[in-house]
């Protein structure tokens, strides 16, 4: 009788353990199924590393399950380029130099797609030339104003304005800070009164400098 009671007790313990394991397995499966039935979260922390013809995009994501990510680069007048991955980084290219691209990332699973991430702007290659240059004469100098390039304005680190005349070449420049982009005005000094000067501006980013802007003519006072 003691042996029979022990056998029954072991059988009951085994049945309870199996039921518990089955319940845990069912709960885990339900959680995974629920995750797949819910669209993923929006990718965050999008960052870009810019090359001469391509962009490496990276991001963070809190979703679970099997997720595909699509990073896209869009720009006015250009074909949209993208890359698809199940990792947290991918390469978009080749892209057009001197163009400002808007980079976004979405996450997708069987249930649908997330909203696009916050956009990050990036420029491929050197910037375009500054526009709308205005030179205002002052005593022995000239105050120069200009507008940012139409293309390639993201990532500009400095501008340089140069006045060229019979008395030589004279320049002034502005530089970006951690918080702000470079100013779009500066004053060239040391000019000779009564001499005509042609004033042009270039923009510079990490890949080099633009071609000069269309010049503005001025006579120093």
pLDDT for the residue 27: 57
**CA-wise closest residue to 106 among 82, 76, 128:** 82
pLDDT for the residue 51: 77
What sign results for the dihedral spanned by CA atoms 210, 212, 214, 216?
A: positive
Q: With beta carbons less than 8 A apart as the criterion, state whether 161 and 188 touch.
A: yes
Give the tokens for residue 113.
Answer: 């797609």
128/85 Cα distance (integer angstroms): 32
Give the tokens for residue 158.
Answer: 């400095």
Each domain of the chain, given as residue ranges in start order, spans 44-123, 131-219
pLDDT for the residue 15: 47
59/220 Cα distance (integer angstroms): 53
Q: How far is CA 129 from CA 45, 93, 99, 154, 214, in A?
A: 31, 24, 12, 13, 8
Fold of the domain spanning 44-123: Immunoglobulin-like (2.60.40)
- Tell me whether the CATH fold assigned to 44-123 matches the one assigned to 131-219: yes
What residues pair up with 173 in beta bridges, in sequence order?
160
Fold of the domain spanning 131-219: Immunoglobulin-like (2.60.40)
pLDDT for the residue 128: 87
Q: Is the pTM of this model over 0.75?
A: no
Q: With beta carbons less than 8 A apart as the criterion, state whether 124 and 52 touch.
A: yes
204/214 Cα distance (integer angstroms): 16
Three-class SS of 14-68: HHHHHHHHHHHHHHHHHHHHHHHCCCCCCCEEEEEEECCCCEEEEEECCCCCCCE
**CA-wise closest residue to 127 among 95, 147, 145, 150:** 150
Q: With beta carbons less than 8 A apart as the criterion, state whether 124 and 96 touch.
A: yes
156/205 Cα distance (integer angstroms): 5
Q: Which residues of the chain have pLDDT under 50?
A: 8, 10-19, 21-24, 29
């Amino acid at each position: 009788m003691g042996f029979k009671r022990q056998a029954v007790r072991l059988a009951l313990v085994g049945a309870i353990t199996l039921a518990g394991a089955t319940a845990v397995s069912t709960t885990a499966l339900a959680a995974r199924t629920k995750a797949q039935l819910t669209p993923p979260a929006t990718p965050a922390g999008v960052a870009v590393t810019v090359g001469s013809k391509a962009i490496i995009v990276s991001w963070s994501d809190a979703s679970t399950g099997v997720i595909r990510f699509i990073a896209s680069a869009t720009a006015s007048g250009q074909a949209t380029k993208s890359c698809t991955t199940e990792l947290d980084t991918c390469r978009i290219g080749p892209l057009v130099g001197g163009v400002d691209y808007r980079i976004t990332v979405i996450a997708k699973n069987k249930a649908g797609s997330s909203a696009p991430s916050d956009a990050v702007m990036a420029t491929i290659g050197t910037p375009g030339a500054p526009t709308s240059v205005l030179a205002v004469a002052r005593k022995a100098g000239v105050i120069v104003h200009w507008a940012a390039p139409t293309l390639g304005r993201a990532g500009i680190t400095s501008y340089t304005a140069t006045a060229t005349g019979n008395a030589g070449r004279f320049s002034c420049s502005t530089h970006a800070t951690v918080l702000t982009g470079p100013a779009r005005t500066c004053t060239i000094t040391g000019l000779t009164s009564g001499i005509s000067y042609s004033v042009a501006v270039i923009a510079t980013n990490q890949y080099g400098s633009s071609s000069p802007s269309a010049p503005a003519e001025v006579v120093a006072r």
